[in-house]
Amino acid sequence: MNIKYPNGKKVSNNKITHINSRGMLFESELNIANEYYRTNNLAIIYKKPTPIQVVKVSYPERSKAKIVEAYYKTPSTTDYNGIYKTKYIDFEAKQTDNASFSFKHIFAHQIIHLKKIDEQGGIAFVIIYFKILNQVFIIDIKDFYREYTNNLHDGPKSIKACNITNIGGVEVLLNKLPIVDYLKAVDSLYFNQKSK
C-alpha cells in the first residue's frame, strides 16, 4: 500500500523513513495517525499550537505578509491533547537518535503538567521514537516520573529502550495505516485491552 505524505513523498512500507529534521517526521506520522483517528471517529486528538507573540511583520506586498520577529508567550506544555473513549488524553512526543532517551530532552514543566493531568483522571504519557531501532514506546507519566526522579541525582540520566517494557511502558507496533497506531498501545496500557 502506498501512502502519500504531506510533502508529496510516497512510502510503501511500515518503517518511518529517517530525515535530518529532528523529530519532524515522527511528528508528521503522529499527525497522520490523529487525522486517521478523527476521520474514523476513534478519537479527537490534535497537536497543540505553541502560543507566540508577534512583534514585527513585514508587508512586501499586500498579500504576502510575513512574520519577521516573534517570541514564545509562555513555555509550551505538551505536544498533543484531546479525547479518547470519553477520557481526556495529553502527551508529549519525543524522538532520539540513540537506543536510550536522555532526560535532558524533556522539561520539568512538561512532566509536572502531565502529572497534573494524571491526578485529574486523564490519560497522560510520553511517547518516544527510538530512531536507531525504529521502535516507538509509550510510557505512562507515573512510570516515567518514577524513573526520572529515581535517576535525577544518582544513576543513569536516561531510559534505555530495552528497559521500557520492564518499567511499565508499551511498544507501539508500526502498521501500514496509520504507521504510528499508538491508540492500540493506549488501549493495552489504560483500558486493559490487548492490541489486535
Domains defined for the chain, CATH in brackets? 3-49+75-190 (3.40.1350.10)
Whether the model clears a pTM of 0.85, i.e. scores above it, the answer is: no
Question: Could you tell me which of 109, 117, 139 has the C-alpha nearest to residue 127?
Answer: 139
DSSP 106-165: S-HHHHHHHHHHHHTT-EEEEEEEETTTTEEEEEEHHHHHHHHHHTSSSS-SEEEGGGTG
pLDDT tens string 34-92: 999 999 999 999 998 766 677 778 887 777 877 777 666 656 788 899 999 999 999 99
Give the model's pLDDT for residue 193. 64
Residue 156's pLDDT is what?
66
Nearest by Cα to 27 from 95, 117, 122, 85: 95
pLDDT tens by residue, 115-127: 999 999 999 999 9
Residues with Cβ within 8 Å of 111's Cβ and at least 6 positions away in sequence, in order, are 141, 144, 145, 148
Per-residue pLDDT at 127: 97
